[in-house]
Structure 1
Amino acid sequence: MPDLDKRAELLRAVVGYLEDNGVSDLSLAPMAEALGTSKRMLLYYFGDRGGLLSQALDAARPDAGEIFADVTTEEEFVAAGRTLWRAITRGEQRRSVKMMLQVLSLASTDPDTYQQYARMTVEVMLGPIAAALVALGHPRADARVRATLVVSGLRGLCQDGLVTAQRTRVDAAAELVIAAAVAPVR
């Protein structure tokens, strides 16, 4: 029977390792050594390399479902969008953004290995944001398009911010992206 506390502690360590070392050359043996455990224990708690990566990505991303759960007005949507932006640029998830960007990039060059993780990374953010937009009265297809604007727009701005370190300009652009998601179409 797995020790759930040990598993949670190990998952936090795995996420930290991937944030520091990236995912492109992920090998369980060096990771296990760096974490003071064994490859066998990583496999015991996470299944295989793919299971480990999937669970690390899940643990590292902000909970968009929670952030957008109680949105009933456009103002609340904008506030939720700002909360998400702060989480991925200043909060706990800011370090994991590099890991997420790497997985998304690797999906285009090594789709057999990374595409399923990249799709999941996008979908788990799109779903809750689109649901909030549907709750605001947007048709489902339009809500998915608007949610795509938020997810892809903020992700691109994260990358811009990491590359340029121009926080003021990037934060202002994030405000525009979030506002555009609820703006009427002309």
Structure 2
Amino acid sequence: MVRTPDLARRRELLDALVRECADNGVGGRSLRELAEAVGTSHRMLLHHFGSREELLLAVVDDVERRQMAMLSEGAAGFAEMWEHLRRPELRALERLFFECYSRGAQGESPFTTMLPGAVDRWLAEVPADAQVDPALARLGLAVMRGLLLDLAGTNDDAGVDAAAQHFIELIDARSHR
């Protein structure tokens, strides 16, 4: 696929923004502060993303797509996904996801655009030959997100990991019936 210079530059900026948000969070940082951190101007971020809110959604969408790629590669079950998602360096991105998700759930534009795709896209990634009950796939996604929200809010790695391990054992016991 040949990329136009504009799309290539957007991709470069998005990669830099994902790294910056993972390393230093977003919080109340302005578009100017984010632009300075990734070595560009706020006008260029507006050109490529439209607004601060749309930039945040682009970061969340990119991170979600990277995580879904792990699942679609077939290598990740719940335990492997948990090991990946629970990494401390992803905590700021998880907080951003939950901020955007809750703003969308409150009906705030443009965050509503991520709903219901934030669930449906994950469920669509479950391989058809995996013979996973769709309700169980949704439960797994909900539990993982609940654990991530707990972790993002409390930083209680040991407690949340223990809960995740318990859930993994329940799923494993169910699948061996």
Distance 1:164 1:47 in 2: 33
Distance 2:94 2:13 in 1: 20
Q: Which residue of 2 aligns with 1:76?
A: none
Counterparts of 1:82-121 in structure 2 under 5 Å?
A: 82-90=79-87, 93-121=90-118
CA contact (8 A) 1:28 1:42 kept: yes
Residues 165, 36 of structure 1: CA spacing in aligned structure 2 closer, same or farther, 3 A cutoff?
A: closer
Q: Which residue of 2 aligns with 1:21?
A: 26
Distance 1:137 1:34 in 2: 45
Please list every run of 5 or more consecutive structure 2 residues that lacks an aligned counterpart in the other structure.
Answer: none
Distance 1:122 1:136 in 2: 18
Deviation at 1:54, TM superposition (A): 3.4
Q: Which residue of 2 aligns with 1:59?
A: 62
Q: Which residue of 1 aligns with 2:35?
A: 32
Deviation at 1:5, TM superposition (A): 5.4
Deviation at 1:60, TM superposition (A): 2.0
Return the letter of the residue paired with 1:104.
Y
TM-score (normalizing by structure 1): 0.70
Distance 2:29 2:101 in 1: 15
TM-score (normalizing by structure 2): 0.72
CA contact (8 A) 2:91 2:152 kept: no
Deviation at 1:156, TM superposition (A): 0.9
Q: Which residue of 2 aligns with 1:160?
A: 150
Runs of 4+ in 1 over 6 A off after TM superposition: none
Q: How many corresponding residue pairs?
A: 169
Q: CA RMSD in A?
A: 3.2
Distance 1:26 1:56 in 2: 14
Please list every run of 5 or more consecutive structure 1 residues that lacks an aligned counterpart in the other structure.
Answer: 72-78
User: What are the Cα deviations for residues 64-87 of structure 1, in whole angstroms up to 9, with x where unaligned?
Assistant: 24335336xxxxxxx621221122
Distance 1:27 1:99 in 2: 14
CA contact (8 A) 1:146 1:181 kept: no
Residues 55, 47 of structure 1: CA spacing in aligned structure 2 closer, same or farther, 3 A cutoff?
A: same
Return the letter of the residue paired with 1:103.
C
Deviation at 1:94, TM superposition (A): 3.5
Q: Percent identity?
A: 30
Distance 1:4 1:41 in 2: 13
Residues 120, 93 of structure 1: CA spacing in aligned structure 2 closer, same or farther, 3 A cutoff?
A: farther
Residues 40, 166 of structure 1: CA spacing in aligned structure 2 closer, same or farther, 3 A cutoff?
A: closer
Distance 2:146 2:26 in 1: 21
Return the letter of the residue paired with 2:92.
R
Distance 2:50 2:157 in 1: 39
Counterparts of 1:67-78 in structure 2 under 5 Å?
A: 67-70=71-74
